[in-house]
Structure formats: C-alpha cells, structure tokens
Amino acid sequence: MSNLSDFISSFEENYGKLVESVEIFEETRASIIAKRGSYIEIAEILRDEYGFVIPIAGGAIDYPEENRMEMNYYLDSPDSDFIVIYRVHLARDDLVLPTMTTVWEAMSFHERETKEMFGIDFEGHENMVALLLPPDWKGGYPLRKDFKGEGVE
C-alpha cells in the first residue's frame, strides 16, 4: 500500500469503526488513534494486511492538565513512503496496556524505557527490567511533567 491516500480510504471503510480516528498528519504521516478494546487486533491487521512490519520506536507523552497520557508507536513498511503513528490514550490513573512485543518483537526495549520513564506498565512483557535508569532507582518517573527530581538524594 504505497500511496497514503488510498491506505487511509481503505483503512477507513474497513476498520473505521474499531478505531477512534484516522487522519493524515503532516501530509506524509498517517495518525491512527486506537481504542483500548481492539488495540492488539488493529496492530496485527496493520502488520499483516497493510505490511507495516518495521518497528521504528515507541514512546509516551504526558498531559497532566488533561489528566491523560498518550502512548504512540511509530511503524514503517519497506515499500511505503509514509509512516503510521499508532496512538492510544490512557487515563493518568490506570496506566495499564497490553504489551506490543507479541506483534512487533523489537518494541520490547521501547516499552521497558516507557515503563521506567512514565510508569505505564505493559502486561505480558517477558523481561520488564529497567533499560536506562539504574536498577536501584528509587525516584519517581523522570519524564513526567510533574517530576521534580525525587529519588535523587
């Protein structure tokens, strides 16, 4: 599916209902906001049907005043000239997500880093160990907006 517009149109009418919104963002990126329920199935559809097999990265962003967090995965496919940003919104109090390593294996590093930086824990991740921070890090989650440097004596 090398062309962006017909990817959007075909994805829209096939799985438009299962997904909160699909739009073109910055004329060469497709931004898909998924629902918590059908989160993994849509990922598998993206990978098998539309050929997005290259996992670029995964990261989160924190909106404290709207009391929500957003986890997005960046996906690419060898024969398309656009990338897909697969997002999901999380309420700030229950930060639980099914792990994406079953779909894209290489996301395990990025999920470990998001866990220690934002506090989103991914069930089903096989070795959820701190990636960048020291294992005995007692402080809060550094990349959150309300992180004031606790845990650093």
Partner 1 sequence: MPEPKIESEIMRISWGPQHPMSGQTRILLDTDGEKVHKIIADIGYTHRGIEKVLENRTLIGGIIPIERMNMVDSSNIGIGYVTACDKTYGLEVPERAQWIRSLICEMGRINSHLYAFGLQAEATAYFPAVFLWTTIDREVLLDLFEELTGARWSYNHFLPGGVFKDFPEGFEAKILEAVQYLRRRFKDYWNAMIENPMFEMRCDNVAILEPKDAIRLGATGPVLRGSGIPIDMRKEEPYAAYNSLDWEVITEDACDIMARTKVRFHEIGQSLNMMEQIAKEIPEGETRARFSPFSRAPEGEHITRVENSRGEMSIHMWTDGTTNPYRVKIMPPSLRNMYVFERLAELSEIVVADIPVVVNSIDPWYLDSDR
Closer CB to partner 1, 61 or 96, in the complex: 61
CA distances from 83 to 34, 48, 117 (A): 16, 15, 25
Stretch that binds partner 1, among 11-19, 38-46, 48-56, 91-99 (CB under 8 A): 48-56
- Minimum CB separation from partner 1 for residue 65, in Å? 11
C-alpha distances (whole Å) from 88 to each of 33, 119, 148 are: 5, 15, 26
| By CB under 8 A, residue 53 contacts partner 1 | yes
Question: x-or-dash pattern for partner 1, window 123-152, by CB under 8 A?
Answer: -------xxxxx-------xx---x-----
**CA-wise closest residue to 4 among 103, 88, 87, 79:** 79
**Nearest distance from residue 85's CB to partner 1, in Å?**
8
DSSP state of 92: S
The number of C-alpha atoms within 13 Å of 67 and in the hemisphere containing its C-beta is 3
Between residue 62 and residue 121, which ones bind partner 1 under the rule CB under 8 A? 62, 72, 74, 78, 81, 83, 85, 104-106, 108-110
Count of residues binding partner 1 (CB under 8 A)? 32
Distance of alpha carbon 80 from alpha carbon 11, whole angstroms:
15
Decide: helix, strand or coil at residue 9. Answer: helix
Site residues (CB under 8 A) for partner 1? 25-26, 28-29, 53-57, 59, 61-62, 72, 74, 78, 81, 83, 85, 104-106, 108-110, 130-134, 142-143, 147
